[in-house]
């Protein structure tokens, strides 16, 4: 049976034999069945074509010049004759050197090797040798080098740089996203420190519920992330189940892996959203990874579902506070503010405690937000965050009658102007951390009274009618990339005397609050390097005999 | 005592010159093999036989010359015959280096041809000396 199989095989194809006859070799013959211009060795050219040539682009065709004696084909144009004609001569070229090659017993010495034709027998061996990204003529000598190179490579995956795809066991951490169309593509790698949020549509069918990989939780937490010498497993942080009408419930236990299954013509436990949270150190090593899932049910009629994915990176031991710039403030981002924790004793020599910051809106610097009713007392605490670089003004109208009491009104107006919790400190840079207390600028509060006559201060009470926040900022850093830095914040409350009104009369007082950003940066000065000084010191005992 | 001297003077001179020439031949051929391995493509499995032949020839040369000297000076035919036998081996190795080396340079041809002619002349003189000793 073996013999018949061999004979039944088609004859092995061989590569065409290399042409070594110099008379038939023509390097400039590029066009098939057409005459190449100025190519004197082209067999497709006729005598009429030769008469139009100006020179021969290939004058000599020889073999290896190291041989002692070899044939050479010499092509030249005889321009004297009319019409010009091509002259072809076959001569023997002699190499006069004593080290010329007289003979070789090695066929491939002076020619390129014909490649091996793959056959079923040698295919595996050829694949091993040439299947990789690189191969060398002598594969054995490379083994030692690659072993030595491996340990440094292991260190390279530990540190990630911005934008580098996060590597996992099999390939990369995938964040499905729409590419070109809205359909999900699973080959989008997540870049380190690149916070992304994507939404895409995936085609599903309830019958193939448990076989579609992208609907199962396992697909997203299966492979572990490669980081330094160990691997970081992706843990399940929380599972939220979304019902068909859109109501979401947070499951109490997120340990159980819920896989999609078919139940009553519904596909339950299908992944509708994944939110990755990756924690890293400040040197770029990933130490923790968690995924929060939103699982839902797919009904029979649904042909596609929308999945949303998000990934966010937080540094360990740091609160996830959204930055307003890195490092300088970016125009349009909110000014960050905070408080000193109360009850902390601070003697003069002791450094300040870390500021209490939270990511909710109440610790930002906020300004009164004008409402449609324009009534200060009905404002109900609507506030707008102060955005860096945006001067704002807002206000409301206060209706005063004879019956209004001054003191509670003053308190209410102060609250309306300043808000529930007016911060004490403002971050000088957009990325100031709460623990660097010196990076924070205290808010200076001024009270100005419109009437500075002493006797009226005591008798009548003052109500605040305007709050002006002036933020002084400067350009900091290099001339080509200046960063905005807040230097000084002053909150000025202007109060006016409330005059008692006769009964039945009412007055409307405008209450305003404004934020002004002033650039106090000094003009840039070029600085020159100091002249080098020669610093010579004589040795201690230089003048020995005399001193 | 009028016994004629049977030792052949030309053979002695030739053996002496051969020894010196062989040292030069060995060093020159080795240097040229090193040159060829750097300039041309010389895979290891073709370099090994060429070097082996060269070193084998050097190893054979020492007893060959020693036996030749001894046999000629002591007018004994046995060492001289043994030397003749070793010469045949050396001739074959030299022919290999002349014809079947991986790269045969023009200098190789000259040196090997000279060595072969020396061997040939030497063999002739040895045969004549042996016949003189035996008879």
pLDDT, one tens digit per residue, over A465-491 is: 899 999 999 998 888 888 999 999 999
| Mean pLDDT, rounded, for A235-259 | 84
pTM: 0.39
Q: Alpha helix (H) ranges present in A386-448?
A: 406-418
Residue B3 lies in a domain: no
| Rounded CA separation A24/A492 (Å) | 97
The shortest CB-CB distance from B102 to any of A99, A102, A105 is to: A105
Of A34 and A1, which is predicted with more confidence? Answer: A34
Q: How sure is the predictor about A137, in pLDDT bands with cuts at 50, 70 and 90? A: low
At residue A405, the pLDDT reads 81
| Mean pLDDT, rounded, for A391-399 | 89
CB neighbour list of residue A341: distance below 8 Å, 6 or more residues apart: A353, A354, A355, A356
Q: Tell me, rounded to whole angstroms, the distance of Cα A521 from its chain centroid.
A: 31
| Rounded CA separation A175/A198 (Å) | 8
At residue A352, the pLDDT reads 40
Contact residues, chain B, for A104 at CB < 8 Å: 102-104
| Rounded CA separation A286/A291 (Å) | 14
| Mean pLDDT, rounded, for B27-55 | 92
Do the beta carbons of residue A196 and residue A189 sit within 8 Å? no
Do the beta carbons of residue A338 and residue A424 sit within 8 Å? yes
Question: Domain range holding B48?
Answer: 9-134
Report the residue of chain A nearest B42, measured CA to CA.
A109
Do the beta carbons of residue A163 and residue A138 sit within 8 Å? no
| Chosen from A99, A100, A110, A136 to mutate, greatest number of chain B CBs within 10 A | A99
Residue A307: helix, strand or coil by DSSP?
strand
Of B106 and A359, which is predicted with more confidence? Answer: B106
Residue B104 lies in a domain: yes
| Interchain CB distance below 8 Å, A99 and B35 | yes
Q: How far is CA A158 from CA A26, A164, A280, B41, B87, in A?
A: 56, 12, 11, 43, 69
| Rounded CA separation A422/A444 (Å) | 12
Q: Dig out the tokens for A517 from the structure.
A: 């950003």
Longest Cα–Cα distance of chain A, Å, equals 130
| Rounded CA separation A184/A198 (Å) | 10
User: How close does chain B come to A275, measured CA to CA in Å?
Assistant: 59
Residue A482: helix, strand or coil by DSSP?
strand
Range in A52-66, A120-134, A488-502, B3-17 the model is least confident about? A120-134
Highest average pLDDT, of A73-77, A83-87, A539-543, comes from: A73-77
User: How close does chain B come to A94, measured CA to CA in Å?
Assistant: 12
Range in A311-315, A355-359, B86-90 the model is least confident about? A355-359
Please choose, from the candidates B114, B112, B119, the residue with its C-alpha nearest in 3D space to the C-alpha of residue B65.
B119
Residue A544 exposure: Cα atoms within 13 Å on the Cβ side? 3
Percent of chain B with pLDDT over 70: 98
Residue A7: exposed, middle, or buried by beta-carbon count in 10 A (0-12, 13-18, 19+)?
exposed
Residue B105 lies in a domain: yes
* Predicted confidence (pLDDT) at residue A348 exceeds the cutoff of 50: no
At residue A139, the pLDDT reads 46
Residue B115 lies in a domain: yes
Residue B77 lies in a domain: yes
Q: What is the bridge-based pairing of β-strands A482-497 and A440-449?
A: parallel
Q: What is the bridge-based pairing of β-strands A234-242 and A230-232?
A: unpaired
Residues 48-107, chain B, touching A (beta carbon < 8 A): 99-107
At residue A321, the pLDDT reads 65
* Predicted confidence (pLDDT) at residue A492 exceeds the cutoff of 90: yes
Total domains in the fold of chain B: 1
| Interchain CB distance below 8 Å, B104 and A99 | no
Q: Dig out the tokens for A54 from the structure.
A: 């100006």
* Predicted confidence (pLDDT) at residue A303 exceeds the cutoff of 70: yes
Report ipTM (2 d.p.): 0.84
Q: How sure is the predictor about A345, in pLDDT bands with cuts at 50, 70 and 90? A: very low
* Predicted confidence (pLDDT) at residue A224 exceeds the cutoff of 90: no
Dihedral (Cα; B108, B113, B116, B120), 10-degree rounding: 180
Q: Dig out the tokens for B109 from the structure.
A: 């041809």
Q: How far is CA A384 from CA A223, A231, A365, A369, B124, in A?
A: 44, 45, 9, 5, 119
Residue B121 lies in a domain: yes
At residue B110, the pLDDT reads 95
Residue B4 lies in a domain: no
| Rounded CA separation A285/A315 (Å) | 10
The shortest CB-CB distance from B102 to any of A98, A100, A106 is to: A106
* Predicted confidence (pLDDT) at residue A418 exceeds the cutoff of 90: no
| Interchain CB distance below 8 Å, A106 and B105 | no
For helices B44-74 and B77-99, the axis angle rounded to 10 degrees is: 160
Q: How sure is the predictor about A516, in pLDDT bands with cuts at 50, 70 and 90? A: very high
Of A225 and A108, which is predicted with more confidence? Answer: A225
Of A238 and A381, which is predicted with more confidence? Answer: A238
Helix (H) or strand (E) segment spanning residue B27? helix B9-39
Range in A124-133, B26-35, B88-97 the model is least confident about? A124-133
Please choose, from the candidates A525, A271, A223, A513, the residue with its C-alpha nearest in 3D space to the C-alpha of residue A392.
A513
Produce one character per residue of A253-285: b if its CB has 16 or more CB atoms within 10 Å, e if not. ebeeebebeeeeebbbbbbbbbbbbbbbeeeee
DSSP B106: H
| Mean pLDDT, rounded, for A205-212 | 82
Do the beta carbons of residue B25 and residue B94 sit within 8 Å? no
Do the beta carbons of residue A204 and residue A213 sit within 8 Å? no
Q: What is the mean pLDDT of chain A?
A: 80
At residue A4, the pLDDT reads 44
Q: Dig out the tokens for B73 from the structure.
A: 């000076």
| Interchain CB distance below 8 Å, B104 and A100 | no
Of A86 and A347, which is predicted with more confidence? Answer: A86
Helix (H) or strand (E) segment spanning residue B120? helix B106-134
* Predicted confidence (pLDDT) at residue A174 exceeds the cutoff of 70: yes
Predicted confidence (pLDDT) per residue in A94-103, tens digit: 989 899 999 8
| Rounded CA separation B61/B55 (Å) | 10
Dihedral (Cα; B87, B92, B94, B100), 10-degree rounding: 180
Residue A458: helix, strand or coil by DSSP?
helix
The shortest CB-CB distance from B105 to any of A102, A105, A109 is to: A102
């Amino acid at each position: 049976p073996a013999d018949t199989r061999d004979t039944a095989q088609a004859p092995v194809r061989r590569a065409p034999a290399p042409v070594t006859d110099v008379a038939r070799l023509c390097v400039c013959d590029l066009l098939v069945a057409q005459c190449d211009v100025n190519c004197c060795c082209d067999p497709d050219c006729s005598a009429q074509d030769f008469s139009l040539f100006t020179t021969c682009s290939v004058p000599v065709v020889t073999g290896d010049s190291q041989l002692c004696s070899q044939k050479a084909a010499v092509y030249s144009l005889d321009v004297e004759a009319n019409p010009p004609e091509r002259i072809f001569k076959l001569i023997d070229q002699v190499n006069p050197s004593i080290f010329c090659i007289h003979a070789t017993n090695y066929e491939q010495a002076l020619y390129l090797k014909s490649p091996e034709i793959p056959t079923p027998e040698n295919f595996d061996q050829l694949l091993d040798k040439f299947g990789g990204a690189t191969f060398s003529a002598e594969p054995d000598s490379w083994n030692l080098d690659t072993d030595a190179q491996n340990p440094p490579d292991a260190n390279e995956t530990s540190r990630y740089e911005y934008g580098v795809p996060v590597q996992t066991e099999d390939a990369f951490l995938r964040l499905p996203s729409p590419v070109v169309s809205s359909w999900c593509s699973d080959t989008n790698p997540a870049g380190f420190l690149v916070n992304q949020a994507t939404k895409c549509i995936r085609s599903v069918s309830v019958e193939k519920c448990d076989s579609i990989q992208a609907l199962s939780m396992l697909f997203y937490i299966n492979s572990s992330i490669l980081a330094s010498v160990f691997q970081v497993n992706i843990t399940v942080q929380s599972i939220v189940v979304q019902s068909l009408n859109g109501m979401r419930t947070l499951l109490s236990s997120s340990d159980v892996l819920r896989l999609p299954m078919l139940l009553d013509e519904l596909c339950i436990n299908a992944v509708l959203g994944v939110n990755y949270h990756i924690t890293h150190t400040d040197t770029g090593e990933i130490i923790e990874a968690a995924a929060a899932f939103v699982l839902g049910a797919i009904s029979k009629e649904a042909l596609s579902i929308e999945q949303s994915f998000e990934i966010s990176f937080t540094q360990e031991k740091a609160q996830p506070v959204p930055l307003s710039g890195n490092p300088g403030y970016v125009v349009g981002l909110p000014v960050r503010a905070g408080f000193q924790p109360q009850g902390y004793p601070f003697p003069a020599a002791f450094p300040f405690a870390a500021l209490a910051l939270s990511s909710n809106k109440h610790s930002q610097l906020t300004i009164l937000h004008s409402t449609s009713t324009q009534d200060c007392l009905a404002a109900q605490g609507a506030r707008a965050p102060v955005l860096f670089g945006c001067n704002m003004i807002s206000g409301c109208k206060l209706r005063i009658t004879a019956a209004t009491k001054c003191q509670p009104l003053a308190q209410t107006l102060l609250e309306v102007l300043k808000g529930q919790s007016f911060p004490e400190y403002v971050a000088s840079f957009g990325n100031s951390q709460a623990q660097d207390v010196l990076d924070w600028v205290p808010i200076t509060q001024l009270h100005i009274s419109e009437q500075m006559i002493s006797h009226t201060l005591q008798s009548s009470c003052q109500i605040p009618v305007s709050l002006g926040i002036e933020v002084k900022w400067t350009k900091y850093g290099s001339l080509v990339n200046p960063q905005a830095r807040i230097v000084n914040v002053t909150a000025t409350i202007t109060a006016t005397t409330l005059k008692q009104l006769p009964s039945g009369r009412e007055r409307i007082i405008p209450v305003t609050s404004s934020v002004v950003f002033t650039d106090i940066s000094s003009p840039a000065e070029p600085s020159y390097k100091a002249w080098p000084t020669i610093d010579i010191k004589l040795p201690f005992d230089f003048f020995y005999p005399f001193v | 005592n009028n016994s004629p001297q049977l030792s052949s003077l030309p053979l002695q001179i030739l053996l002496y010159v051969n020894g010196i020439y062989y040292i030069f031949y060995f060093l020159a051929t080795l240097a040229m093999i090193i040159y060829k391995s750097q300039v041309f493509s010389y895979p290891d499995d073709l370099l090994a036989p060429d070097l082996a032949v060269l070193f084998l020839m050097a190893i054979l040369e020492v007893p060959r010359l020693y036996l030749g000297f001894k046999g000629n000076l002591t007018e004994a035919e046995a060492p001289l015959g043994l030397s003749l036998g070793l010469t045949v081996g050396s001739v074959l190795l030299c022919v290999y280096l002349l014809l079947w080396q991986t790269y045969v340079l023009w200098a190789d041809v000259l040196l090997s041809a000279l060595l072969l002619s020396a061997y040939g002349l030497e063999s002739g003189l040895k045969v004549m000396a042996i016949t003189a000793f035996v008879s």
